[in-house]
Amino acid sequence: MAERSLKLEQAAAQSKERRKSRLQLKHVPSYLFLGAWSLFTILALSWVVLASLKTNREVFREPFSFPADPQFVNYERVWLNSQVGQSFLNSLVIVGLSVIVIIAVSAPASYILSRARFKGRGLLTMVFIAGIGIPYPLLFIPLFALLAGIKLINTIPGLILVYVSLSVPFTVYILTGFFSSLPSELEDAAVIDGATDFQVFRKVMLPLASPGLLTASIFNFIGLWNEFQLALIFIQDPGLRPLSLSLYTLKNSMTYSGDWAGLFAGVVIVVVPTIILFVILSERMISGMTLGSVK
């Protein structure tokens, strides 16, 4: 009997190993695709950085070589002469304030939708989810008419208002999952200790949901930093343009002037902040995503 049991255990272990091997082989094409795509992205970004440090002649004559004499003057020229510096500051103000307001509005709403029990809660949640699927082009005319009525066309506050209103549904959807994953016993303990509902939210639940808040902030920052369509419609003043609009204008001007090295320098200026943000906060963002995925 003991020998038979040992054989059965060995057979089960071998069967488990075979299933594991088949599962790993099943994911090989996905790993190869992701690896190839990652390699292509790294090579493309590296080439853009190298091209931004060359002269225009070197960009075409020696496209894949390292620059013998790095031309950092390309960045200086683009920053000072093409209003990229002013646009960079505009983007920092617009995106930074937008993310702060989005989190300030979405966090309490998400907490209520995940914890409170009231009539119409499910319908209200579905309204937020439905708001994610509305294409932006359908909202261009209503939003333009609304902002024109309150005199906020071609203003930074008007663009921030548009960004906040269109980003809240997605953020509420994300944060609702994070708050739902937090244990309710902590709320009960705080209430027993005499905390009010607002104190429970601010001092107990909000700190525990910080990974989710950080994840939502990063997603919103990257999305708004690269946003182009809404800024193109609601901002006409060159001095108020965000960086995405400035890069588009730079592309048009550099195409006719032939300053491709300067154009690549502008691309690097746009891309670098999001890369730095992701590299610094990627681990916390991934941990926040996995925390919110388990309810």
215 exposure class (CB count in 10 Å sphere: 0-12, 13-18, 19+) = buried
pLDDT of residue 295: 43
Q: 133 pLDDT band (50/70/90 cuts)?
A: confident
Contacts of 103 (CB under 8 A, 6+ apart): 171, 213, 216, 217, 220
pLDDT of residue 24: 65
- Region 9-14: mean pLDDT is 61
The span from the CA of 76 to the CA of 72, in Å, is: 7
User: pTM for this structure?
Assistant: 0.79
> Is the per-residue pLDDT at 2 higher than 60?
no
| Residue pair 249/78 in contact by the 8 Å Cβ criterion | no
pLDDT of residue 168: 92
* Least confident window among 108-117, 156-165, 271-280: 271-280
Q: Which CATH superfamily is domain 73-293 in?
A: MetI-like (1.10.3720.10)
pLDDT of residue 78: 83
pLDDT of residue 277: 78
- The residue among 168, 184, 70 whose CA lies nearest residue 128 is 168
Which one-letter amino acid corresponds to residue 81? N
> Is the per-residue pLDDT at 165 higher than 60?
yes
* Least confident window among 3-17, 32-46, 277-291: 3-17
- The residue among 281, 52, 228, 49 whose CA lies nearest residue 41 is 49
Average pLDDT, the chain: 82
- Region 13-31: mean pLDDT is 67
The span from the CA of 222 to the CA of 227, in Å, is: 9
The span from the CA of 147 to the CA of 135, in Å, is: 19
